[in-house]
Structure 1
Amino acid sequence: MRKLPPLKAIQCFEAASRLGSFAAAAEELLVTPSAVSHQIRALEREVGLPLFHRVHRSILLTDAGRRYAEQIAEAFGMMEAATRSIDRTGKADILTINSVPSYATQWLMPRLSRYSALHPDVDVRLNASVDRVDLAAGQADFAIRYGTVFPDPGVEVVPFPLETIVVLCSPALVRDKPIRTLDDLRSHTLIFSEVNLVSWRRWLDEMGGRDIPTGRGPRFDRSFMAISAAVDGDGVGLESRLLIQRELDSGRLVLPFGMMGPRLVCHRLLFLKSKAGVPKIKAFRQWLEGQLAETAM
């Protein structure tokens, strides 16, 4: 715990040393001169030294008082600058979200402007990473993770809605070689997302295409790269339907088999249980749940 003199006493001393008069300090602080004198005497008892020479009706700083006044003035200047800095930003809070890269790129970033419009006093900071985030140390307010998670003590884990893993490709890719049945995939290049919870082999086995080979094709360690390759017509991809809404809306991707595919929880939201009631935490959770409900696939 910091051991500091009463702030009122320091204010009186700073004003009196700057203005050179107890009366002038009292006028600025809207108190009586005797109140200023009383506060400064209490401060002198606190520090154990006289801070002013009192000569008739005037005051002069002692050497110790002058040094103290210089340091106090500097401290007040820093507080004033910090206050002005807050006023310039115009934001009450900063919300820091650490998300796995593909979810951040494909789903969250296109929607953050909607959140900011609803909460103009909150600045959003989005970090994309797969590294462990120490929420208790304040590295982020939220972490969005893919797959299984092992949370630290005190961390709440909320699963996202079920996501459908679908086959996707560029519309240009299927103009000459349509994809109507699983067997049609034999004539196309398969794009592999190596971190996907559902592999091509598993998807084909579950859909009845056990004899379709899956040994060749470009491989990526991030879903957003695999999605980009599919948009460019490099092959047929397999990804969560949730991540490709923009590409479907723009017509850059199509779903040759529609919504055929397994459904599972892919992403999870992590935050400190102790901060669940903090307004910025509560507001973002409610907004995110609403957005996910609208796009649940």
Structure 2
Amino acid sequence: MSRRYPPLTAMMAAEAAARTGSIVGAAAELGVTAPAVSQQIKLLERHLGRRLFDRGRSGVTLTDAGRSILPYLAEGFDNLAKVGQIGPSDRSPGRIVVSAAASVALKWLPGAIDAIRRDRPDLRVELRMEEDPVDFGEGGPDIRIGYGELPYTGLVRRTLVRDCLIPVARPGEPSNWDEDRLIHTDWGGSYASLPVWRDWAAAAGVKMLDPRRGQRAGASALAQEMAAEGGGVALTNALFAARDLAAGRVACPFGPALPMRDGYTICHKDRAPISRDLADRLILQAEMDLDFALSRVTPPLG
């Protein structure tokens, strides 16, 4: 029988809140918003079927159930940290290579690595922007991130995140539906199945008259940049938009979010603990970034 683990993101949020005694303190430590931490704690409480914290104006305090569970969480994360410390001696010269598709590499991965290195400043990473297939032979990457089912065997294969597409525009832009302001993304042959504005309109119950109107971009990252510069409204990955939303470069003028048909996949070699540790952290960071982006989605057009 397979084990039913609590969500890793939720456990990390609860452990940080218990240790700092504050939702705000936990959010600052994890690099996310306080509402995102609260949401993850509620998720863990629902999973366990018990309340772990009492909320007050001065912070949070553990319930009896929380005090009984905290030592296990703390010990588990201490052990994860010890595993991560094994890695540098297993690989010479101690650098881990992460390869990703273009939009992932441009719009999400650098910020994710930066957030992770706040906790692991000893981590040495080389980022590569490549399209599939990549060569995992000598000198190849340790970790690969791409969309859908990746064409690799002999590797550990996991879901990074199941992303959504959201509309984004420069803050202050009109929030009405105007087909002349839409930025259409040409996903390319390998990603032809990805949703486009026509799919979003159908899901939102909005009538689309002519999909040829508006602007066009050859990649999700480029469409998002056009939107940030005031070029219109782009339909982009919530994961990729998270940091621009946090920085105020873009805003979501209207909802809803449209789930993507497939998830992003992360593949890694299993030969060194550092690969597994970084993959774990990237998955956690992706979940937190997606939660934050979706918290900024405004009500649907109506």
CA contact (8 A) 2:186 2:219 kept: yes
Alpha-carbon offset, residue 126 of structure 1: 0.2
Q: What's the counterpart of residue 281 of structure 1?
A: 275
Q: What's the counterpart of residue 248 of structure 2?
A: 251
Taking the aligned partners of 2:119 and 2:267, their CA distance within structure 1 comes to 22
Letter in structure 2 aligned against 1:191: I
Q: Deviations over 1:109-150 (max 9, x none)?
A: 023223334334431000112142122444100111123422
Taking the aligned partners of 1:212 and 1:149, their CA distance within structure 2 comes to 36
Q: What's the counterpart of residue 296 of structure 1?
A: 290
Structure 2 residue 150 is the aligned partner of structure 1 residue 156: no
Alpha-carbon offset, residue 246 of structure 1: 1.7
Which of these residues, 153, 175, 192, is aligned with residue 184 of structure 2?
192
Residues 1:258 and 1:140: Cα distance change in structure 2 (over 3 Å): same
CA contact (8 A) 2:161 2:283 kept: no
Which sits farther off after the overlay, 158-167 or 108-117? 108-117
Letter in structure 1 aligned against 2:128: N
Q: What's the counterpart of residue 227 of structure 2?
A: 230
The 5 A counterparts of 1:112-131 are: 112-131=113-132
Letter in structure 1 aligned against 2:151: F
Q: What's the counterpart of residue 43 of structure 1?
A: none
Q: Deviations over 1:176-233 (max 9, x none)?
A: xx32xxxx223x4211111161111122122222443211232222211110000011
Q: Deviations over 1:6-57 (max 9, x none)?
A: xxxxxxxxxxxxxxxxxxxxxxxxxxxxxxxxxxxxxxxxxxxxxxxxxxxx
CA contact (8 A) 1:135 1:271 kept: no
SS at match of 1:173: coil
The 5 A counterparts of 1:61-210 are: 93-151=94-152, 153-174=153-174, 178-179=175-176, 184-186=177-179, 188-195=180-187, 197-210=194-207
SS at match of 1:203: helix
Residues 1:131 and 1:163: Cα distance change in structure 2 (over 3 Å): closer
CA contact (8 A) 2:147 2:265 kept: yes
Letter in structure 2 aligned against 1:144: I
CA contact (8 A) 1:116 1:124 kept: no
Taking the aligned partners of 2:204 and 2:218, their CA distance within structure 1 comes to 24
Taking the aligned partners of 2:221 and 2:172, their CA distance within structure 1 comes to 20
SS at match of 2:276: helix
CA contact (8 A) 1:156 1:270 kept: yes
Q: Deviations over 1:238-270 (max 9, x none)?
A: 011111112211222111224432344342111
Taking the aligned partners of 1:205 and 1:147, their CA distance within structure 2 comes to 23
Taking the aligned partners of 1:293 and 1:246, their CA distance within structure 2 comes to 13
> Quick check: which has more Rg, 1 or 2?
1
CA contact (8 A) 1:167 1:256 kept: yes
CA contact (8 A) 1:92 1:121 kept: no
Taking the aligned partners of 1:107 and 1:148, their CA distance within structure 2 comes to 20
Taking the aligned partners of 1:244 and 1:283, their CA distance within structure 2 comes to 25
CA contact (8 A) 1:164 1:259 kept: no
CA contact (8 A) 1:93 1:121 kept: no
Unpaired segments of 5 or more residues in structure 2? 1-91, 292-302
CA contact (8 A) 1:172 1:233 kept: no
Taking the aligned partners of 1:223 and 1:251, their CA distance within structure 2 comes to 18
CA RMSD of aligned residues (A): 2.2
Letter in structure 2 aligned against 1:93: G
SS at match of 2:182: coil
Q: What's the counterpart of residue 53 of structure 1?
A: none
Residues 1:139 and 1:230: Cα distance change in structure 2 (over 3 Å): same
Q: What's the counterpart of residue 10 of structure 2?
A: none
Unpaired segments of 5 or more residues in structure 1? 1-90
